[in-house]
A and B are shown apart, each in its own frame.
Chain A
Amino acid sequence: KQEVTQIPAALSVPEGENLVLNCSFTDSAIYNLQWFRQDPGKGLTSLLLIQSSQREQTSGRLNASLDKSSGRSTLYIAASQPGDSATYLCAVCSGNTGKLIFGQGTTLQVKP
């Protein structure tokens, strides 16, 4: 059974810092991995989608990497801003239905 773990559960950094959020999964047979952002009381916003054949994806200040063999993904946020404060969720698709298994999330606070 696929399990997804995110570390740390919470993170507080000063504005401008570069930071890394970690995601690990137990079964390396995945179709894709997706990173989401969730603001309080809101739905999920897709940030990056990495297919199983890819090693990384970039969007603006965000870079996500995928190492299937070790069951790990990282989300790198460059030059963090207070507007980046949110909960970041990692989700893995293990079957051809597109059904996602989510981690518990990392709640990020970027202080001005």
Chain B
Amino acid sequence: GAGVSQSPSNKVTEKGKDVELRCDPISGHTALYWYRQSLGQGLEFLIYFQGNSAPDKSGLPSDRFSAERTGGSVSTLTIQRTQQEDSAVYLCASSQNRATGELFFGEGSRLTVL
């Protein structure tokens, strides 16, 4: 597709389970970002990938969170042993030019941890 694609759009899970969220960026975009938007809070940066460089993981809230990007394209955000405070919308964005480029966001994956 033409835009950033994320799946699943909605995920309900039980506390303690692991979840995987997927992001398919715009073709040709080398930069990929994950953000989290919690109820009543702003958007929080999680992790950034640029080409084959080591990712910037400075925003990951705990070691239960990890992400990978395979082949410079699709990315997966994994949350292990989910907690209720992990409930949020997880947004993925991609950009053609990391420094000056416009970021394009997907529709997000809404995670609810019961």
Closest to B31 in A: A98
Taking the closest CB of chain A, its distance from the CB of B2, in whole angstroms, is: 13
B99 to chain A, nearest CB (A): 4
User: Which residue of B33, B91, B99 is within 8 Å of A43 (Cβ)?
Assistant: B91
The answer for the CA separation of A32 and B48 in the assembled complex, in Å, is: 17
Residues of chain B at interface, number, CB under 8 A: 26
Bound state CA distance, A31 and B33, in angstroms?
17
Q: Interface size of A by Cβ–Cβ distance < 8 Å? A: 25
Give the CA-CA distance A31 to B98 in the complex, in Å.
Answer: 10
Bound-state Cα–Cα, A31 to B102, Å: 11
Binding site for A on B (CB under 8 A): 4, 6, 31, 33, 42-43, 45, 48, 50, 56, 91, 93, 95, 97-108, 110
